[in-house]
Chains A and B, each alone.
Chain A
Amino acid sequence: MAAHLKKRVYEEFTKVVQQQHEDLTTKKLRLTKPSKSAALHVDLCKATSPADALQYLLQFARKPVEVESVEGVVRILLEHYYKENDASVRLKIASLLGLLSKTAGFSPDCIMDDAINTLQNEKSHQVLAQLLDTLLVIGTKLPENPSVRMRLVEVACKHLTDSSHGVRNKCLQLIGCLGPVEKGVAKEAESQAAKDVQKIIGDHFNDQDPRVRTAAIKAMLQLHERGLKLQQAIYGQACKLLADDYEQVRSAAVQLIWVLSQLYPESIVPIPSSNEEIRLVDDAFGKICHMVSDGSWVVRVQAAKLLGSMQQVSSHFLEQTLDKKLMSDLRRKRTAHERAKELYSSGEFSSGRKWGDDAPKEEIDTGAVNLIESGACGAFVHGLEDEMYEVRIAAVEALCMLAQSSPSFAEKCLDFLVDMFNDEIEEVRLQSIHTMRKISNNITLREDQLDTVLAVLEDSSRDIREALHELLCCTNVSTKEGIHLALVELLKNLTKYPTDRESIWKCLKFLGSRHPTLVLPLVPELLSTHPFFDTPEPDMDDPAYIAVLVLIFNAAKSCPTMPALFSDHTFRHYAYLRDSLSHLVPPLRLPGRKLVSSAVSPSITPHEDPSQQFLHQSLERVYNFQHLDPRGIQELLEFTIRDLQRLGELQSELAGMADFTATYLQCQLLLIKALQEKLWNVAAPLYLKQNALASAAAKQILEETYKMEFMYSGVESRQVVIIHHMRLQAKALQLIVTARTTRGVEPLFGMCEKFLQEVDSFQRCFISELPHMQGSFVDKLLDLMPRLVTSKPSEVVKILQTTLRQSTFLHLPLPEQLHRATANIIEPTGESDNPLRFTSGLVVALDVDATLEHVQDPQGTVKVQVLYPDGQAQLIHPKPADFRNPGPGRHRLITQVYLSHTAWTEPCQIEVRLLLAYNSNRSKASTRIPKSTWSESLEALPPSENGIEGTIPFSKPVKVYIMPKPARR
């Protein structure tokens, strides 16, 4: 705060200086107060022409004005306003008035009267409109003052008869924003005009200017948003507006009709040209459906979107939206969907299309055909076939929302959604797949539909395939052939795109567990077992075979008869997969086995997963090593680290946890190794080797601690303390090493001081955590602090060395969830032997496609690094729009990296990798601290202390073969 204030003071000061300076140059002796109003007054008086005055006002508008001086400034502006003859200057003044009244903390009621007065004599329409805008601002700033608002509304009503559309526009806007909402207030109003705002606005629905008509509808909507219940009477008017010539009017009218349909869904309206009556919501639904085939795509998008939220509509109308009667030469024809359904129900499979397969059937009565339906007929059929993909997406969204609320509609719209899977634009395809997933509880896929769905599995876009896998996870399939088909297609997908492995396995897991009875008859075929002969044992590492097993084992979970069909090696494979892919293979109760799994399985809850138990046990063991000799400690640490790393590889959901702890133990191990007494006591000539080892260790520990802090999501403050503590130890080690190598005391002074400051800031940051750190390095250090501050560097180093060695190993508590940020570069694949050729000096764009997991705020932190063979490294910041978020915790980076280099004689490989940038300022530790307690001391800290920036490589590097050719002359 102090700094902030200081800045303010400076600002003020500099302004004053400028002002005087200006005055000096113009050589007018006037001692100005540092007040804005005065300065402005001077400027405006100086202005000789309107253009000058305008310039001054523009300059003035660029600077902020303090709350205290606003009123003064307003007075001066008004004064000039009355004097000014030029309309453009008056316009600027009016807009400035509006801006000024927006100033926070300023109450504009004092200037309201003046503003209203100015309206009376104004002739220019533009200025008038601007003044009304100012009044609107004033009105919105005074929400608790109904009488003021009433006055403003009355003023606006008076100007509604103005001949300019701009003025009428603003008046309507003002009435919409400020018109009385509660009934009581309206009655109190003396003026007749202001009583019924709805009527006033409604009268302007028929204004001659389309802009005013739009403004009137918008004002009405504004009133609705503010809580006024609109009258049903305007429904008829709104319906007429749907046929307006201008798209913005139609667009607003559609909204208004939607609002009314939500307000009065059940009231009855007559159908024109007949005696029938229908519910208002149905009528409105029909009308909005009609707008889906409007001439303007903006209106179409709007109409399609709003359809989705009309859930009270009766099912009869809803189902009409998917209906389109086909005919050919006046004879009724069946749609392709109907034919497919019949074909399916008659048990006949795609017999190959014949000439005239779609031959028209019965004659249609010409009178019965209604080419333009007043109702909802075919609205979605049109919407889904629209030219603009925006409309198609909106229609798909609307379908989704309606289908979620109506199972029968969901069943009917399935055919259309499936068709959308072949849209030409990827976003539309993706959207329709997601939609299908959302409504999948309500539907069962027919075989021919499944066939179309599965055809999309070959799509080259990974997004689409993964969305489809997710869809398959939760669909219901009706027949065993369906399951077989799905499996076959998924396996095809697997061979074509091996990178989809995990996603396909996961998909099959759910497919199996959802349809155990359908999988059962397929088992012998899938495992290719034979009643008499032994078949060869399949290869256990084949991803396709694993996929089949995942399907079968998950089905077997709820189908106890299935294991009887397994052959011997299947059981063995089960045991293997249960261990290696435990997240995909469920525990099974197997007959005749040792019942290892069944004995354990009932008792274990998800929390006590054996692997998790293992993790905790091994950590337990490590933390109790205090009594071991140093050699034993080292060995134990090494073993544990190895175990943990292995565990991380096997169990993907524990990977974060295991890696995190392994890294921590690694740090500890490094520290212990570096501090081995033997080495520290050796003679001076051997220092060199020892020093190199220790400083390398210190450096590595520092790196690892940054990794621990920034690469894992879910790290809590308790872990952050430990990490920072480890970092402090590493810094201490660094200090000791430097002290031993450098001669002279001078550089040491600085280093010691810096280190002590760090200890100090550590204490301040983690004051609440200190009690948990009994016996640790920092605990002991803080006890010795008074001594350290006063002693010489050499002594400090000595103390540090002993404390470092005596301090105990801190227990690292594990958080609930811990995920390591990972990145996987899908493209470039790094397999190409064809060099990317380009002319040297020009750029070539390289497409980079990568998946990121558990990265928080990837837009800010993820960078792409390109390493050239000459050691030159280039860091590229991808655009924020290049990151997409397909699911929680997952991100996808699709970007282009520009490469360039001077000419080479032959092609060579460059390396592309992703980096995670960090900045210790953004660390969780510093954000946690309440600012007020230490804000003063913060300023004293050297900036480098809290701003260490760096990068962590977190993806495997990919090699790209490039060849910059020399330019041709």
Chain B
Amino acid sequence: VLCCRAGAGQDVGRSCILVSIAGKNVMLDCGMHMGYNDDRRFPDFSYITQNGRLTDFLDCVIISHFHLDHCGALPYFSEMVGYDGPIYMTHPTKAICPILLEDYRKITVDKKGETNFFTSQMIKDCMKKVVAVHLHQTVQVDEELEIKAYYAGHVLGAAMFQIKVGCESVVYTGDYNMTPDRHLGAAWIDKCRPDLLISESTYATTIRDSKRCRERDFLKKVHETVERGGKVLIPVFALGRAQELCILLETFWERMNLKAPIYFSTGLTEKANHYYKLFITWTNQKIRKTFVQRNMFEFKHIKAFDRAFADNPGPMVVFATPGMLHAGQSLQIFRKWAGNEKNMVIMPGYCVQGTVGHKILSGQRKLEMEGRQILEVKMQVEYMSFSAHADAKGIMQLIRQAEPRNVLLVHGEAKKMEFLKQKIEQEF
């Protein structure tokens, strides 16, 4: 087994790994880097081919899930560089991936005005090359190469892949989560004893506290504010955590018989919710068991948001995109509500330096907006981390489950991976 990386080896973003296993070449993920706007955003495919044709060299491409750092470069790779072989991904990934790619294309091309970027047609053509797989379905790529998907948690449709040629095998985890959350289950793999386990290691040096405390805190905060008559703003990204938090609030509203409205910004999120409704088998036990009576994603209390609602009196909860408060609807609402100390903004995820989100989280109370306006923030600012990556314990647990002979850590920082490497060596 030979393994080399074209994208992320030791940092987050631009996942792209090339595996040679018994004469077969498989590319795992085809991601892009969000931080760059030039050539560096896509993996360097010339490294793979050495000026040959990609299709001749690669036997197949596997995409683990729909996040852009795992599939963002796919149209570029298949249409602009040129690849005609099969691309494997799970059904939900195949459904959601083009929406995200299209959205990404719109932002770069239509808004920033870049040229030399892939077009909508290219995305469509690219998706035609995709072969969708089911969980635990063994797919014969050719006579020797076979792949099999396992459930990975993380986001809807995320999967771990086992790649097998003869008696040699590799397991690629993609991003995964070993603790179940409100809408997805935990990653699971059988004792397949691969020769190599390629695992992500975003949280290699972290052991997290119980989710329950975080959820409880979150609900309590929201509940208290709503009872006071305040408004709650939750800036989220369209997919993933947004759905988890929706389910969390929806069930809480149901349980506590609350009446205050919850709104959800329209557009991308609405479309995504639709797919969550469809792929119910990929969700967790509770949702799967109860969907016969009622599909949990058919929200009773959560309605679509309209711009005019922000000025309505009385308490409300609004989920708005984007998650870092740097532009768009969430920022508009934030500006409207920031002046009232009864209101609250809850940041459910990490914020990049320079965004409004980062500023208010670090305690800044006076913000300078465009046009030299000064915005005084009187509303409460809360931070809750809802992350869906496996922590150090989770990684160890997966290693224990799969019992691999070798482990390769990717998708993390070098120093952290060093620590985990020691641990793995020490304990196995």
Alpha-carbon distance between A416 and B211 when the two chains are bound, in angstroms: 11
- With A366-B419, A459-B255, A460-B255 known as contacts, the answer to whether A422 contacts B215 (CB < 8 A) is yes
Interface membership of B396, Cβ < 8 A: yes
Q: Within 8 Å CB of B221, what residues of A? A: 353
CB within 8 Å for A419 and B216 given contacts A387-B284, A425-B286, A461-B255: yes
A371 near B382: Cβ-Cβ < 8 Å: no
Is the CB of A7 closer than 8 A to any CB of chain B? no
Is B401 within 8 A of A295, CB to CB? Answer: yes
Task: Tell me the B104-151 residues at the A interface (CB within 8 Å).
Answer: none
Contact B216 A369 (CB under 8 A): no
| B207 lies within 8 A of A327 (CB) | yes
Q: When the two chains form their complex, are residues A337 and B207 in contact, meaning their CB atoms are under 8 A apart? A: no
Shortest distance from the beta carbon of B133 to any chain A beta carbon, whole Å:
22
- Contact call A355/B212, Cβ cutoff below 8 A: no
Residues of A near B416 (CB, < 8 A) are 329-330
Nearest chain A CB to B271 CB, angstrom units: 26
A327 touches B205 (CB 8 A): yes
Q: How far is the CA of A356 from the CA of B285 in the complex (A)?
A: 33
Interface membership of B190, Cβ < 8 A: yes
Instruction: Report chain B residues within 8 Å CB of A424.
Output: 182, 251, 286
Minimum Cβ distance to chain B for residue A208 (Å) = 16
Would you call B180 an interface residue if the criterion is a C-beta within 8 Å of the partner chain's C-beta atoms? yes
A388 located at the interface, meaning its Cβ lies under 8 Å from any Cβ of chain B in the complex: yes
The minimal Cβ–Cβ distance linking B375 to chain A, given in whole angstroms, is 18
Q: Which of A353, A420, A458 contacts B217 (CB 8 A)?
A: A353
**Which chain B residue shows the least CB distance to A338?**
B209
Q: Is the CB of B422 within 8 A of A366?
A: yes
Question: Are A420 and B207 in contact (CB-based, < 8 A)?
Answer: no
Query: Which one of A352, A419, A460 contacts B212 once the chains associate, using CB atoms below 8 Å?
Result: A419
Query: Could you give, for residues 415-432 of chain A, a 1 whenever the CB lies within 8 Å of some chain B CB and a 0 otherwise?
Result: 010011011110000000
Residue of B nearest to A377 (CB): B393
Interface contact B256-A459, CB-CB below 8 Å: yes
Q: Per-position contact with A for B358-378: 1 when CB-CB < 8 Å, else 0?
A: 000111000000000000000
Q: For the complex formed, measure the closest distance between the CB of B284 and the CB atoms of chain A, giving whole angstroms.
A: 6
Taking a contact as CB atoms under 8 Å apart, the answer to whether B256 and A385 are in contact is no
- Residues 201-216 of B contacting A (Cβ, < 8 Å): 205-216
Of residues 371 to 428 in B, which have CB atoms within 8 Å of A's CB atoms?
380-383, 392-393, 396-397, 400-401, 416, 419, 422-423, 427
B273 on interface, CB distance cutoff 8 Å: no
- Against B, the Cβ 8 Å flags (1 = close, 0 = not) of A335-362 are 1110000000000000011111000000
Nearest-Cβ distance from residue B118 to partner chain A, whole angstroms: 37
- A293 CB contacts on chain B under 8 angstroms: 397
Q: Select from chain B the residue with minimum beta-carbon distance to A327.
A: B207
| CB contact between B208 and one of A326, A387, A416, A419 (< 8 Å): that residue | A326
Tell whether B179 is near chain A: CB-to-CB under 8 Å. yes
Whether A389 pairs with B285 at a CB distance below 8 angstroms is yes
Report B-chain residues with C-beta under 8 Å of the C-beta of A329: 205-206, 416
Contact residues in A for B48 (Cβ distance below 8 Å)? none
Q: Are A336 and B209 in contact, with the CB atoms below 8 A?
A: yes
Contacts of A352 in B (CB 8 A): 380, 382
B186 CB → nearest A CB, Å? 5
In the complex, which residue of chain B has the Cβ closest to the Cβ of A324? B207
- Residues of B within 8 Å of A21, CB to CB, are none
Contact with A along B237-269 (1 / 0, CB 8 A): 000000000000001001111000000000000
| In the complex, chain A residues whose CB is within 8 Å of the CB of B419 | 330, 366
A96 to B393, CA, bound (A): 55
* Contact residues on B (Cβ < 8 Å of other chain), bracket: 35 or more
B423 adjacent to A381 (CB under 8 Å): no
List residues of chain A with CB within 8 A of the CB of B286.
Answer: 389, 424-425
Q: Are B180 and A355 in contact (CB under 8 A)?
A: no
A372 contacts the other chain (Cβ, under 8 Å)?
Answer: yes
Asked if residues A452 and B182 are in contact (CB atoms below 8 Å), the reply is: no
Collect the chain B residues with CB atoms within 8 Å of residue A381's CB: 210
Cβ–Cβ contact B209 & A353, under 8 A = no
| A371 near B393: Cβ-Cβ < 8 Å | yes
A295 to B186, CA, bound (A): 10
In the complex, are the beta carbons of A452 and B363 less than 8 A apart?
A: no
Report the separation of the CA atoms of residues A135 and B28 in the bound assembly, to the nearest whole angstrom.
58
**Assembled-state Cα–Cα distance A387/B211 (Å):** 12
A330 touches B205 (CB 8 A): yes
- CB contact between A420 and one of B212, B361, B363 (< 8 Å): that residue: B212
Is B185 located at the chain interface by the 8 A CB criterion?
yes
Among B211, B216, B256, B423, the residue within 8 A (CB) of A371 is B423
- Asked whether B165 is an interface residue with its Cβ less than 8 Å from the other chain, the reply is no
Considering only CB atoms and an 8 Å cut-off, how many residues of chain A contact the other chain?
Answer: 45
Give Cα A455–Cα B223 distance, bound, in whole angstroms. Answer: 10
With a CB–CB cut-off of 8 A, which chain A residues contact B223? Answer: 455
* Chain A residues, CB < 8 A from B185: 387
A700 to B213, CA, bound (A): 62
Min Cβ gap A467→B in Å is: 14
Q: Choose among A295, A328, A455 the residue that contacts B191 (Cβ–Cβ < 8 A).
A: A295
Q: Write the nearest CB–CB distance from A43 to chain B, whole angstroms.
A: 48
In the assembled complex, the Cα of A372 lies from the Cα of B186 at a distance in Å of 18
**B211 adjacent to A326 (CB under 8 Å):** no
With contacts A329-B205, A366-B419 known, is A385 near B210, CB below 8 A? yes
Cα distance A460–B254 in the bound complex, in angstroms? 7
CB atoms of B188 and A385 under 8 A apart? no
Asked if B217 contacts A336 (CB within 8 A), the reply is yes
Q: Which residue of B lies closest to A455 (CB)?
A: B220
Residue A716 is within 8 A (CB to CB) of chain B in the complex: no
In the bound complex, what is the Cα–Cα distance between A425 and B287 (angstroms)? Answer: 10
Residues in B neighbouring A324, C-beta threshold 8 A: 207, 209-210
Report whether B182 and A422 are in contact in the complex, using a CB–CB cutoff of 8 Å: no
The verdict on B219 contacting chain A, using a C-beta distance below 8 Å, is yes
A326, A372, A459: most-surrounded residue (chain B CB, <10 A) = A372
- Are B191 and A245 closer than 8 Å at their CB atoms? yes
Contacts of A328 in B (CB 8 A): 205-206
Partner of B180, one of A356, A386, A416, A459: A386
Interface assignment of A333: CB less than 8 Å from any CB of chain B: yes
Complex contact A295–B188 (CB within 8 A) = yes
Q: Which residues of B contact A245 (CB under 8 A)?
A: 191
Is B401 touching A419 in the complex (CB atoms < 8 A)? no
Q: Contacts A353-B217, A355-B383, A461-B255 hold; do A326 and B180 have CB atoms under 8 A apart?
A: no
Rounded to whole Å, the gap between the CB of B13 and the closest CB of chain A is 19
> Given A295-B188, A354-B363, A370-B427, is A385 in contact with B257 using a C-beta cutoff of 8 Å?
no
The reply on A325 being an interface residue by CB < 8 A is yes
| A653–B212 alpha-carbon span in the complex (Å) | 42
Interface check A496, CB cutoff 8 A: yes
Contact A422 B423 (CB under 8 A): no
Closest to A386 in B: B180
30 contacts between A and B (CB under 8 A): A295-B188, A335-B209, A335-B210, A336-B213, A352-B382, A354-B363, A354-B383, A355-B381, A366-B419, A369-B423, A371-B423, A372-B396, A372-B397, A372-B427, A381-B210, A384-B212, A385-B180, A387-B186, A389-B286, A419-B212, A419-B213, A420-B212, A422-B215, A424-B286, A458-B255, A458-B256, A459-B255, A459-B256, A460-B255, A461-B255
Given A328-B205, A460-B254, 11 more A-B residue pairs with CB atoms under 8 Å apart are A245-B191, A295-B190, A327-B206, A328-B206, A335-B209, A354-B363, A369-B423, A370-B427, A372-B396, A387-B285, A389-B285
- For the complex of A and B, the 5 pairs showing the least CB-CB separation, nearest first, are A336-B213, A387-B180, A419-B212, A355-B361, A460-B257
Which B residues are within 8 Å of any A CB, using their own CB?
179-180, 182, 185-186, 188-191, 205-217, 219-221, 223, 251, 254-257, 284-286, 361-363, 380-383, 392-393, 396-397, 400-401, 416, 419, 422-423, 427
